[in-house]
Amino acid sequence: MAQQRRLYPEVEVTYRDLDRDPIPHLTAQTLAQTDPAEAAAAEAVMQQFLQADVIVIGAPMYNFAIPSTLKAWIDRIAVAGRTFQYTANGPEGLAGGKRVINASARGGLYADPTNDFQEPYLSQVLGFLGIDDISSCAQKAWRIRRSIAPMRWPRRWPGWVRKKRLL
């Protein structure tokens, strides 16, 4: 982010780290908005979203899906009458005109698309809000690569290896 800010100082960047500063998950109490501080915090999240032209989502894949902190953010921006509305022809997104870049990281390989609930979910929910300019990229198998990287193949195998059958 620092490099982007240096390259493009005219661009206003708002950085939100949902891991370091998580948004509370929805509960019956938060939906009722009986707490003025909670309502103000939810409105601040909504305004930040509505004012953004480009949104970059950087999130890991946890258990085939998005982190719960990202889901909590989505729950705050997916609000009937604000970012979508119900019409006689079905739901209509009100948050169009934005661009979303989804950059994800996955510890394993997910060649079977049925194991990826992250990208389809984000495309579905953002599309529901009226956002159709969505780009996705994924860093795959980072955990596998990281675990293999420290390995160094010896020039000469130790004695105990020479006595074993290797597959």
Indicate the domain borders of the chain: 29-144
Contacts of 76 (CB under 8 A, 6+ apart): 23, 26, 42, 45, 46, 49
Is there a binding annotation on residue 62? yes
Per-residue pLDDT of the chain (167 residues; tens, 9 = 90+): 777 778 888 888 888 999 999 999 998 888 887 889 999 999 999 999 999 999 999 999 988 899 999 999 999 999 999 999 999 999 999 999 999 999 998 877 766 777 788 999 999 999 999 999 999 988 876 555 555 555 554 455 444 444 444 43
Is there a binding annotation on residue 110? no
Q: How far is CA 83 from the centre of its chain?
A: 18
pTM here is 0.79
Q: How wide is the angle at C-alpha 17 spanned by C-alphas 15 and 21, nearest 5°?
A: 120
Is there a binding annotation on residue 64? yes
What is 29-144's CATH number, 3.40.50.360, 3.40.190.10, 1.20.1050.10, 3.90.1150.110? Answer: 3.40.50.360
Is there a binding annotation on residue 84? no
